């Protein structure tokens, strides 16, 4: 029985099986898939809800004048001496944001 050698991987195949492999059958018809982008999936609904929440609830940002006024009261409360202006500013900013979110 004659054999065919392939160069790719040196596998020895009988001639009859090699000929049988070359026969192709009619390909099966492919299923047609339509992409319906308007269909709402749970992922797209969740993304849309997050986008709406961001648009509706922007984070509160106190104005500089509000922060400065509160930081000044902290400095005045210490007798107008000592401390750090940066610490007073951050404390005032955090307090105003906490009041707004509550």
Which of the 8 DSSP states describes residue 27? Answer: P
pLDDT at 12: 61
Bridge partners for 12 per DSSP:
5
Q: Is 11 exposed, middle or buried (0-12, 13-18, 19+ CB in 10 A)?
A: exposed
Bridge partners for 13 per DSSP:
4
pLDDT under 70 in the chain at which residues?
A: 1-25, 27-29, 31-59
pLDDT at 61: 83
């Amino acid at each position: 029985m004659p054999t065919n050698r392939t160069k790719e991987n040196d596998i020895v195949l009988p001639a009859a099986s090699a000929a049988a492999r070359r026969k192709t059958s009619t390909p099966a018809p492919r299923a047609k898939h339509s992409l319906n982008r308007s269909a709402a999936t749970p992922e797209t609904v969740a993304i849309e809800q997050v986008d709406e929440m961001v648009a509706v609830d922007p984070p509160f940002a106190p104005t500089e004048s509000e922060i400065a006024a509160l930081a000044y009261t902290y400095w005045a409360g210490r007798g107008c001496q000592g401390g750090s202006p940066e610490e007073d500013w951050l404390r005032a900013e955090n307090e105003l944001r906490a009041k707004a979110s509550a």
